[in-house]
Amino acid sequence: MGRLNRYILKNAALSIGGLIIFACCVLLLERLLRIFEIVTISSNPGGDASRMVVNLLPYYLGIAVPIALLLGTIITVDKLSKSSELTAALGAGVSLFHMTKPFILISIFLAGITMFVEGYLQPVGRYQYRATEFKIKQTSATAALREGTFTTLGSRTFFAGTEGSDGATGPIFIHEEVDQQSDNAKPQSGYRITTANVGKITVVENSPTLNLSESRGFHVMNGVMSGQASAEKTSITGVVEVEKYKARGEDEREMTSGELFANRKGDVTQVIDKNTNNATLHLRLSKAALLLILPFIAVPFGLNYGRNPSSAGLFVGIVFLISLQKALEFGQTLGAAGKIPPWLGIWGIIIAVSIFAAIIFWKSAYKMGQPPLTAFSQWIGHMKTEILTSIRNVTKKTRAAPHA
């Protein structure tokens, strides 16, 4: 690799790497609020929050990589154009395709990472994130007898003393709000108090029961205490709802690419439809293939040769990538529904994008003329001039109207 390509590779790697980190941080900010809300009821908020963030990173990395590759390439080429370095290189006989090789190398590297992230880390991370969230909610519910704390679940508030080695806790205090219909049809509100020396939650066939030893209880209705009772042993059913989280593989988004490939004929698992399975697999593979095409689109978008500086490449690039992503998702939806072959709705779009990339790069590299987005920038500038002229004319007419 020549000195020029090493120089371009260094600048491109810095731009693309920085954009990947920035995009992941921005995308995580919104989800962090949700994570903090979830872990507030956890007994280990720091560890659970860290685990959820780590499991989310592959998902946001899959979003950030194509954006960073496209925008980083456009920014790098735009800098070379504005500093006249690109013009000097072209004047020295270096072809545009030769200067695109560093971006191709980066795209190959990112495509390999994307296949691993999309094919393994993302589905496993999605499952682990959901399992952690489910575990936090279940643990917080079953921790109604958490030592030395008040825990409110529905209409009940629990407080427990010291936790023993067998999981039992005591002494126990339970406050429960109750409503009772009186004879004169006017509802009466009150509460029920229950105390016990020892309490322990047991789960039998997913039915949670709070077992109390040496318990006492009474009702308070409209300030009057009644119904006082005591018992050596008593149980309160339906304290919390405990469930086991589903096994991985019931959602195609939680299956690795290897598992999807093994189930492409639908004979491994009956839970996931064959069309849905194959559409998801093709979508993951297409995301890696798309990265190999993006440099041939981003390089022409960043060209301006310094004479007509333009920032339209970034805007057009973002709109193009978002539209392409939505088109791929739509193609996956059609394939999963069985309306078209699963591969057609995705690879048909990739082929169309490849043809577009080949045409736009060929015209930029082997046809001497204005960069592809120069006409777009000139059109935007013309529209801006027309709008400003119209505003001035309307303003002049408005000012002149009172004197007419």
Last residue of a domain, one of 237, 262, 296: 237
Please state, as a whole number, how many other Cβ atoms lie within 10 Å of the Cβ of residue 334: 18
19 and 157, same domain (yes or no): no
Residue 176 included in any domain: yes
Q: Copy the structure tokens of residue 157.
A: 């508030």
Pair 194, 212: CB distance under 8 Å: yes
Pair 59, 117: CB distance under 8 Å: no
pLDDT of residue 68: 94
Pair 26, 60: CB distance under 8 Å: no
Residue 404 included in any domain: no
233 and 179, same domain (yes or no): yes
Q: Classify residue 147 by its DSSP letter.
A: B
pLDDT band at 234 (very low <50, low <70, confident <90, very high): low
Pair 323, 101: CB distance under 8 Å: no
Residue 66 included in any domain: yes
Q: Copy the structure tokens of residue 250.
A: 């019931």
Residue 402 included in any domain: no
Give CA torsion, residues 223, 229, 231, 234, to 10 deg: -50
Q: Which residue has the higher pLDDT, 243 or 284?
A: 284
Last residue of a domain, one of 192, 208, 237: 237
- Beta strands 224-237 and 156-163: pairing type? unpaired
125 and 27, same domain (yes or no): yes
Per-residue pLDDT reduced to its tens digit, 326-345? 999 999 999 999 899 999 98
Last residue of a domain, one of 237, 263, 284: 237
Pair 264, 275: CB distance under 8 Å: no
Give the contacts of 273 (CB within 8 A, at least 6 positions apart): 266, 336
Residue whose tokens read 């000097």: 88
Which of 260, 215, 259, 249 lies closest to 234, judged by CA?
215
209 and 302, same domain (yes or no): no
118 and 171, same domain (yes or no): no
Q: Which residue has the higher pLDDT, 164 or 121?
A: 121
363 and 230, same domain (yes or no): no
Average pLDDT, the chain: 80
53 and 101, same domain (yes or no): yes
Is pLDDT of 231 > 60?
A: yes
Which residues form the domain of 217?
A: 144-237
Residue whose tokens read 């296949």: 115
Give the contacts of 254 (CB within 8 A, at least 6 positions apart): 123, 124, 126, 127, 130, 248
**CA distance linking residue 139 with residue 169, whole number of Å:** 16
Residue 232 included in any domain: yes
**CA distance linking residue 65 with residue 72, whole number of Å:** 10
Residue 400 included in any domain: no
95 and 9, same domain (yes or no): yes
Pair 292, 301: CB distance under 8 Å: no
209 and 343, same domain (yes or no): no
126 and 272, same domain (yes or no): yes
Q: Copy the structure tokens of residue 309.
A: 């500086």
15 and 114, same domain (yes or no): yes
CB environment 10-22: b (16+ within 10 A), e (fewer): ebbbebbeebbee
Q: Copy the structure tokens of residue 161.
A: 């003393």
Distance of CA 35 to the CA centre of its chain: 12
Residue 242 included in any domain: no
Q: How many domains does the chain have?
A: 2
297 and 383, same domain (yes or no): yes
Q: Which residue has the higher pLDDT, 176 or 64?
A: 64
Per-residue pLDDT reduced to its tens digit, 42-94? 767 888 888 999 999 999 999 999 999 999 999 999 888 888 888 888 888 88
Q: How many residues does the chain have?
A: 404
**CA distance linking residue 58 with residue 87, whole number of Å:** 39
Q: Copy the structure tokens of residue 313.
A: 């490449």
Task: Give me the mean pLDDT over the 260-269 stretch.
Answer: 86
Which of 63, 58, 67, 61 lies closest to 16, judged by CA?
67
Is pLDDT of 313 > 90?
A: no
Within 263-306, where are the H helices?
274-302
Q: Which residue has the higher pLDDT, 241 or 139?
A: 139
Q: Classify residue 121 by its DSSP letter.
A: I
Q: Measuring CA to CA, how many Å separate 233 from each of 28, 89, 353?
A: 50, 88, 72
Residue 401 included in any domain: no
Beta bridge partners of 181: 187
pLDDT band at 14 (very low <50, low <70, confident <90, very high): very high
